[in-house]
Amino acid sequence: MNPFLDSVLKTRRVRSPQGGERELGSEISLDEGYLLQEAIQLTQAVTTLEIGLWYGVSTLFICEAISGKPGAHHIVMDPNQFRDCDGIGLNNVKEAGYENIVEFYGQSSHIVLPQLELKGVKVDFAFVDASHLFDYTLLEFFYIDRILRTGGIIAFDDASMPGVQKVIRFIITNRCYKVVQCIPASASWKQMAKHRLLKEVSRICPPLKQLIRPELREPDIDRGFIPGARYVALRKEADDSEDTRPWHFYHDF
Ligand SMILES: C[S@@+](CC[C@H](N)C(=O)[O-])C[C@H]1O[C@@H](n2cnc3c(N)ncnc32)[C@H](O)[C@@H]1O
């Protein structure tokens, strides 16, 4: 592991460029960091993108996985890096030795992502750990999909949060993406048994299907997405962003 990242995780202390010290918090877990790196290996990613820098723990895991590859480049955006974090995330990027491969934008995703598409940027891997709101997360997926190469991976932290979970359900039911990684958190076996039962009921008695919410009659588990998962990664199987879907295409999710 990068020695600076290792010391941050061990000491749980981070510093601003002015020397102010804070306790580490809100970062991804160690197992999630390793899964991000595994996803980057899987896709042989060189150009990566991330939404939500904070103190930069996930950024350091991602940079470690791509650094050393020719053309390695990590794009990260966060409008609150100086307002909330005193520049600690960017300082950590510098201390870890990744300053030369990181391109930072101090604006919100909805401003930055369309600019990247306009510039013709293409990415191999993207990680979303930002607002967790349904509308922002959906918009982030929409724009990332347009610049993510086919075969690339988009990963979501906090996949169990309702807004993020709904977006993931939209993606796997309406778009050409497949779950490739998942960290279960509070997988409730009782909840899964309930979903199985409702699915069976709607199979035996189709009219009842309309009365059961889509997430109950078609449980996430059937698509490799464990309820309560705290991290989910999806691989783009084909480019269906334009023209490939009829105008009335829609699957309930
Ligand atoms: C949970 S923290 C990210 C933690 C980081 N992944 C880590 O492991 O250290 C979420 C970050 O997302 C940022 N954020 C929230 N809304 C955003 C948006 N619309 N665009 C970009 N970043 C956003 C917040 O400012 C915050 O720094």
The two beta strands, 47-51 and 123-128, are parallel
| Dist. CA 48 → ligand 1 center (Å) | 16
Q: Are strands 21-23 and 47-51 parallel, antiparallel or unpaired?
A: unpaired
Ranges of beta strands (E only) in 116-251 are 123-128, 148-157, 177-183, 231-236
What is the CATH superfamily name and number for domain 3-186+228-236?
Vaccinia Virus protein VP39 (3.40.50.150)
Q: Where are the domains of the chain?
A: 3-186+228-236, 188-224
In whole angstroms, give the CA distance from residue 171 to residue 166: 9
One pLDDT digit (tens) per residue for the chain, 253 residues: 999 999 999 999 999 999 999 999 999 999 999 999 999 999 999 999 999 999 999 999 999 999 999 999 999 999 999 999 999 999 999 999 999 999 999 999 999 999 999 999 999 999 999 999 999 999 999 999 999 999 999 999 999 999 999 999 999 999 999 999 999 865 556 666 766 677 677 777 777 777 777 766 766 666 666 777 899 999 999 999 988 999 999 999 9
Which amino acid type is present at position 253? Answer: F
Tell me which residue has tokens 């993108």: 49
Ligand 1: centre distance to CA 26 (Å): 9
Q: Using alpha carbons, select from 189, 178, 175 the residue that is nearest to residue 253.
A: 175
Q: What 8-state DSSP symbol labels residue 224?
A: T
Burial of 89 (0-12, 13-18, 19+ CB in 10 A): buried
**Phi and psi of 222, rounded to 5°?**
-65, -15
Instruction: Give the residues surrounding ligand 1 with Cβ less than 6 Å away.
Output: 26-28, 51-58, 77-80, 108-109, 129-131, 136
Q: What is the pTM of this model?
A: 0.89
CA distance 20 to 234: 38
Is residue 231 within 8 Å of 32, Cβ to Cβ?
yes
The predicted pLDDT at position 213 comes to: 73
Tell the residue nearest (CA) to atom 5 of ligand 1: 27
For 173-205, give one letter per residue: b (16+ CB within 10 A) or e: bebbbebbbbbebeeeeeebeebeebbeebeee
> Ligand 1 centre from 51 Cα, in Å?
6
How many Cβ atoms are within 10 Å of 234's Cβ, its own excluded?
27
| Atom nearest to 133 CA in ligand 1 | 16
Cα angle at 140 between 247 and 54, to 5 degrees?
175
Burial class (CB in 10 A: 0-12, 13-18, 19+), 2: middle
Closest to 182 measured CA to CA, from 236, 221, 136, 226:
226
Task: Check residue 43 and give its pLDDT.
Answer: 96
Tokens 């989910």 correspond to: 232
